[in-house]
């Protein structure tokens, strides 16, 4: 996104060739941005500047990517042309009111369906005005959406967070030479600046690494080294929580890729115990809770999560779906309005449904490492949205895992 809006060329190493990112790439190509892929995991983006995008000839299809849709809603609010954003069945059920309402206060006009879900029809050519927005629920997607709209707004756009969320957008803006002020839970910028292209190296994703961290931690005799993982402080909730549970995880060889901290993660099999997850860690681990629930199921005693109502509106209702699957596999799991209570136990074999949610499918795959019998996971096609090659990599790491064409709906 920033490479497309920058002036000059941006070269990216470490590009994740997942369905979400490829859908985003295709959207910018449809708006006239020249993007080349000279080698695997590499991009060369010829930036068109903040005002150089062109009207696409049709609706922009974003697949399963809620991040793409919410961020593009902000970015496209400042364009001189109308756009329509669509997605697959899962994305089409996700609520968009949290970005539509604050964008409207900036002057954006967006239409969605009566349920507040996609498709989004965004009217271009409107003058935006910066404003101060206080997030009622900590959300990096909403924050980033408003900051992107703020690039096109008159005056200052300021977002106040109730809790720290991932700050990749702020770091990326600074890497592209755009001034951002961060202080006391407030992130602000002035509209009308410029982005300058350059070279970027993308760290490995800690959300993807988390599946293997838990897999090694719960499997007797295991040890694993995962290299070049991004260890941004706003993403370390999963490490803090697993360490509180007793997982032995080391950060080795710390360094930086651009403005992002990176390290190699070493983990070995550990005896885990249940905990009450601290509220301040929830927003820092919001995407990792499906696999954290697997760790809790393998821990001695009870694990309690509260303050995570955000999980209800992810690719699936991750509280309900994970509780259902854990229960089907013999684990005592009680969902609550904003979290879950899990009593550690032993996984039986069985069949669970991922409800099209990539992280739930991969979480239950790791549970199979210690289950008493085989686990069959239905509806796993969306694993490719965030982790293409998961089956092959997991098999290399020692999982006995097969992907097959399901006969179940």
Of 287, 338, 378, 379, the active-site residue reads 287
Q: Count CB neighbours of 220 within 10 A.
A: 9
| Rounded distance between C-alpha atoms, residue 370 and residue 222, angstroms | 12
Judge whether 345 and 326 are in contact, CB under 8 Å. no
The secondary structure element, H or E, covering residue 367 is helix 358-367
Query: Which residue's entry shows tokens 């922009």?
Result: 60
287 is catalytic: yes
Pair 155, 129: CB distance under 8 Å: yes
Q: Which residue is associated with the tokens 């992810």? A: 314
- Among candidate residues 136, 128, 11, 29, the one with its CA nearest the CA of residue 73: 128
Within a 10 A sphere around the Cβ of 317, how many other Cβ atoms? 16
Two tokens, residue 362: 């991969």
Q: What burial class does residue 403 get, using C-beta atoms within 10 Å of its C-beta: 0-12 exposed, 13-18 middle, 19+ buried?
A: middle
Please list, in sequence order, all residues whose beta carbon lies within 8 angstroms of the beta carbon of residue 25, skipping any fewer than 6 positions away.
Answer: 35, 43
- In the block, tokens 């629920």 appear at 137
Cα separation, 148 vs 384, in Å, equals: 27
Cβ–Cβ < 8 Å for 109, 84: no
CA–CA distances in Å: residue 269 to residues 108, 222, 266, 306: 51, 5, 11, 27
Question: Which are the catalytic amino acids?
Answer: 287
């Amino acid at each position: 996104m920033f490479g497309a809006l920058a002036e000059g060329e941006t070269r990216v190493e470490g590009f994740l060739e997942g369905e979400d990112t490829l859908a985003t790439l295709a959207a910018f190509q449809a708006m006239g941005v020249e993007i080349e892929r000279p080698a695997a995991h590499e991009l060369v983006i010829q930036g068109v500047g903040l005002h150089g995008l062109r009207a696409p000839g049709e609706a922009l299809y974003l697949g399963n990517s809620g991040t793409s849709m919410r961020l593009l809603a902000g970015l496209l609010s400042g364009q001189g042309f109308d756009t329509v954003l669509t997605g697959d069945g899962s994305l089409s059920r996700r609520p968009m009111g949290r970005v539509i309402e604050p964008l409207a206060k900036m002057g954006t006009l967006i239409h969605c369906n009566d349920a507040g879900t996609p498709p989004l029809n965004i009217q271009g050519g409107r003058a935006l005005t910066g404003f101060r927005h206080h997030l009622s629920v900590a959300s990096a997607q909403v924050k980033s959406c408003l900051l992107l709209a703020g690039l096109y707004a008159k005056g200052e756009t300021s977002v106040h967070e109730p809790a720290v969320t991932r700050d990749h957008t702020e770091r990326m803006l600074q890497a592209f030479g755009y001034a951002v002020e961060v202080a006391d839970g407030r992130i602000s910028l002035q509209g009308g600046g410029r982005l300058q292209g350059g070279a970027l190296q993308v760290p490995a994703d800690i959300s993807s690494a988390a599946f293997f961290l838990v897999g090694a931690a719960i499997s007797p005799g295991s040890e694993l080294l995962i290299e070049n993982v991004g260890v941004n402080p706003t993403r370390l909730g999963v490490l803090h929580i697993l360490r509180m549970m007793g997982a032995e995880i080391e950060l080795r060889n710390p360094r930086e890729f651009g403005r992002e901290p990176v390290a190699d993660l070493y983990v070995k099999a550990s005896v885990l115990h249940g905990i009450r997850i601290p509220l301040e860690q929830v927003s820092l681990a919001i995407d990792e809770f499906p696999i954290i629930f697997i760790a809790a199921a393998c821990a001695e005693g009870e694990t309690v999560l509260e303050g995570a109502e955000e999980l209800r509106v992810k690719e699936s209702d991750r509280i309900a779906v994970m509780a259902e699957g854990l229960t089907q596999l013999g684990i005592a799991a009680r969902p609550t309005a904003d979290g879950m209570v899990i009593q550690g136990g032993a996984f039986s074999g069985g069949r669970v449904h991922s409800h099209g949610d990539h992280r739930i499918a991969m979480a239950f795959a790791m549970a199979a490492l210690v289950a008493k019998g085989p686990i069959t996971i239905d509806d796993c096609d969306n694993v490719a949205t965030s982790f293409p090659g998961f089956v092959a990599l997991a098999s290399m790491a020692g999982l006995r895992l097969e992907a097959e064409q399901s006969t179940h709906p």
